[in-house]
Amino acid sequence: MTTKANPFNVIGQIAALRRYARSLVRNPDEAEDLVHDALVRALERKSTFRSSGSLLTWLMSILHNTHIDQLRSNRATERRHAAAAELADLIAPAGQEHSVRLAQVRGAFLALPEDQREALHLVAIEELSYQEAADVLNIPVGTLMSRISRARARLRAMEHGDVEGSAPHLRIVGGSSDDQQ
């Protein structure tokens, strides 16, 4: 409860923030993340809170704006991915086997969890150093290296059909006698 002695009692507002966050994102885990992000913003901007105003209203506004920012960011990411996919299709029509293989690799890459895909993209495609990629993602280098390692392992597993739900490795039929088994 906000009191005259402590006008910035955010702990007493967490239940209401959680309820509002759940109504916005409809997922308990995402709601917790949203509340966390909003509280971090609130603490960073504590000096902008007027003690004469309603703390709950101020926190709800921050939560709402945080949610809107995340939606915009997600939409921008989706647009970039869609544009990259379109460019990949326009670059050069390849032979059938090559096209199938590229489609498999692209599908496997896009099937990676978002955090692994981001890390691998920055290092393998954008050719950023581990430190630069970690700075972009705002994570420790060790976490980045772990994500890249898991992404590469998952891609190798997908290659061999070891991942549940992944398509088995396609074998090219024809070609030299070495290719046929």
| pLDDT (tens digit per residue) in 91-147 | 655 567 777 878 888 888 888 998 998 899 888 888 889 998 898 889 999 999 999
Give the Cα separation of 41 and 4 in Å (integer): 23
The model's pTM is 0.47
Which residues 6+ apart lie within 8 Å of 3 measured at CB?
A: 9
SS3 state at 6: coil
Q: What is the distance between the alpha carbons of residues 69 and 148, in angstroms, rounded to a whole number?
A: 27
pLDDT at 176 over 70: no
CA dihedral 26, 31, 34, 35 (to 10 degrees): 130
